[in-house]
Amino acid sequence: MTNLPCSADLDLWFAEQPGDLAVAQARCDACPLATACLAGALERREPWGVWGGRIIVDGEVVATKRGRGRPRKLVAAS
């Protein structure tokens, strides 16, 4: 099937910006394969991306993807 929403501009499905991921999720909502796509991604434990309208990180659905950046600074106990 070549007319899937993700067949064009696939980078959007693996974008870093939350706004871009939201666009991909909305496009998945119109996809006839969304349910099977999500099930397959979970079964394969996809490392990352938008699948079936959900954001997956390390094989699990997450609400949002954390952006890249410096890790949180730990405060040493005194």
Give the separation between CA 19 and CA 40, rounded to whole angstroms.
Answer: 24
Q: Could you tell me which stretch among 14-22, 24-32, 57-65, 68-76 binds ligand SF4 (CB under 6 A)?
A: 24-32
Task: Kindly provide the residue ranges of all beta strands, DSSP E only, lying in 9-75, ordered along the sequence.
Answer: 48-51, 54-57, 60-62
Nearer to ligand SF4, 10 or 63 (CB): 10
Nearer to ligand SF4, 5 or 55 (CB): 5
Contacts of 12 (CB under 8 A, 6+ apart): 6, 20, 21, 23, 24, 27, 50
Helix (H, G, I), strand (E, B) or coil at 55: strand
What part of residues 32-51 is at the interface with ligand SF4 (CB under 6 A)? 33-34, 37, 51
The answer to the question of residue 52 lying near ligand SF4 (CB under 6 A) is yes
Residues contributing to the site for ligand SF4 (CB under 6 A): 4-6, 13, 27-28, 31, 33-34, 37, 51-52
